[in-house]
Amino acid sequence: MRARLPDHDGYAEREGVKLAYEVFGDDPAAPTVVLMPTWSIIHSRHWKAQVPYLARHFRVVTFDGRGCGRSSRPEGAAAYTDGEFAADTLAVLDATSTDQAVLVTLSSGAPWAVHVAADHPDRVRGLLAIAPACGFDVAHPEREQFIWSERLDTADGWAKYNRHHWLGGGHDDFLRFFFAEMFSEPHSTKQIEDTVGWGRETDPHTLVATTAARLGFDGVVCEDLEPVCARVRCPVLVVHGDEDRIRPPAVGERLAELTGGSFVSLPGAGHGPHARHPVAVNGLIKDFVDEIHPRRPPRRSWTRSLARPKRALYLSSPIGLGHARRDLAIAGELRAHHPDIQIDWLAQDPVTRVLERAGETVHPAAAWLASESSHIEGEAAEHDLHAFQAIRRMDEILVNNFGVFRDVVEDDHYDLVIGDEAWDVDYFLHENPELKRFSFAWMTDFVGWLPMPEGGEHEAMLAADYNAEMVEHRARLRRVRDRSVFVGDPDDIVPDDLGPGLPPIRQWTEDNFEFAGYVNGHDPASLADREALRIELGYRPHEQVCIVTVGGSGVGEPLLRRVLDAVPLARRQVDGLRFVIVAGPRIDPARLPRRRGARIVGYLPDLHRHLAACDLAVVQGGLTTCMELTANRRPFIYVPLRNHFEQNFHVRHRLDRYRAGRCMTYHEASDPDALAAAIAAEVGRTVDYRPVASDGAARAAALIADLV
Model confidence pLDDT, tens digit, residues 561-603: 999 999 999 999 999 999 999 998 888 999 999 999 999 998 8
Q: Does residue 299 lie within any of the structural domains?
A: no
Q: Of the candidates 267, 292, 317, which is a domain's last residue? A: 292
In one-letter notation, the amino acid at residue 518 is Y
pLDDT in tens, 348-362: 988 998 899 999 999
DSSP 321-360: THHHHHHHHHHHHHHHH-TT-EEEEE--TTHHHHHHHTT-
DSSP structure class, residue 691: P
Look at residue 475 and give its three-state secondary structure.
helix
Answer whether residue 329 shows pLDDT above 90.
yes
**51 and 35 in contact (C-beta within 8 Å)?**
yes
How many domains, the chain? 4
Q: Does residue 625 lie within any of the structural domains?
A: yes
Segment among 112-116, 373-377, 466-470, 617-621 with least mean pLDDT: 373-377
416 and 511 assigned to the same domain: yes
pLDDT in tens, 218-232: 999 998 999 999 999
288 and 344 assigned to the same domain: no
**623 and 657 in contact (C-beta within 8 Å)?**
no
pLDDT for res 418: 98
What separation in angstroms does the CA of 270 have from each of 178, 524, 542, 561, 596? Answer: 12, 53, 69, 49, 63
324 and 417 assigned to the same domain: yes
DSSP 228-268: HHTT--S-EEEEEETT-SSS-HHHHHHHHHHHT-EEEEETT
What's the whole-number mean pLDDT along residues 74-98? Answer: 97
Task: State the Cα–Cα distance between residues 690 and 460, nearest whole angstrom.
Answer: 33
Task: State the Cα–Cα distance between residues 452 and 455, nearest whole angstrom.
Answer: 6
pLDDT for res 127: 98
Q: Does residue 300 lie within any of the structural domains?
A: no
In one-letter notation, the amino acid at residue 252 is G
**682 and 425 in contact (C-beta within 8 Å)?**
no
Share above pLDDT 70 across residues of the chain, in percent, rounded to a whole number: 100
pLDDT in tens, 235-270: 999 999 999 999 999 999 999 999 999 999 999 999
Q: Does residue 203 lie within any of the structural domains?
A: no
DSSP 588-650: -GGGSPP-TTEEEES--TTHHHHHHH-SEEEEES-HHHHHHHHHTT--EEEEPPBT-HIIIII
What's the whole-number mean pLDDT along residues 45-53? Answer: 98
Answer whether residue 139 shows pLDDT above 90.
no
Task: State the Cα–Cα distance between residues 426 and 421, nearest whole angstrom.
Answer: 8
Query: Which distant-in-sequence residues (6+ apart) come within 8 Å of 168 by Cβ?
Result: none
What's the whole-number mean pLDDT along residues 300-311? Answer: 84
**694 and 523 in contact (C-beta within 8 Å)?**
yes
627 and 559 assigned to the same domain: yes
Q: Of the candidates 292, 318, 343, which is a domain's last residue? A: 292
533 and 671 assigned to the same domain: yes
pLDDT for res 406: 98
Q: Residue 233: which CATH number?
A: 3.40.50.1820
pLDDT for res 662: 98
149 and 128 assigned to the same domain: no
475 and 539 assigned to the same domain: no
Residue 330: which pLDDT band, with cuts at 50, 70 and 90? very high
**497 and 505 in contact (C-beta within 8 Å)?**
yes
502 and 415 assigned to the same domain: yes
**How many Å from the N-terminal Cα to the C-terminal Cα in the chain?**
37
311 and 286 assigned to the same domain: no
pLDDT in tens, 499-544: 999 999 999 999 999 999 999 877 777 788 888 998 899 898 889 9
Neighbours of 169 (CB within 10 A): 9
Answer whether residue 315 shows pLDDT above 80.
yes
Residue 605: which pLDDT band, with cuts at 50, 70 and 90? confident
Are β-strands 416-420 and 311-316 bridged in parallel, bridged antiparallel, or unpaired? parallel
pLDDT for res 700: 98
Q: What is the mean pLDDT of the chain?
A: 95
539 and 509 assigned to the same domain: no
What separation in angstroms does the CA of 505 have from each of 448, 449, 456, 508? Answer: 7, 10, 20, 5
Q: What is the pTM of this model?
A: 0.95
In one-letter notation, the amino acid at residue 584 is G
Query: Which distant-in-sequence residues (6+ apart) come within 8 Å of 554 by Cβ?
Result: 373, 377, 380, 584, 586, 587
Task: State the Cα–Cα distance between residues 503 and 512, nearest whole angstrom.
Answer: 12
183 and 85 assigned to the same domain: no
pLDDT for res 361: 97
Segments forming the whole domain that contains residue 284:
8-138+219-292
Q: Does residue 389 lie within any of the structural domains?
A: yes
What's the whole-number mean pLDDT along residues 205-221? Answer: 96
634 and 582 assigned to the same domain: yes
pLDDT for res 186: 97
pLDDT for res 321: 74
417's enclosing H/E stretch is: strand 416-420
Q: Does residue 211 lie within any of the structural domains?
A: no
Q: Residue 311: which CATH number?
A: 3.40.50.2000
Q: Does residue 208 lie within any of the structural domains?
A: no
- The C-alpha angle with vertex 683 and arms to 680 and 688, in degrees rounded to 5, equals 125
pLDDT for res 322: 78
Q: Which has more pLDDT, 308 or 403?
A: 403
pLDDT for res 528: 81
Q: Does residue 202 lie within any of the structural domains?
A: no
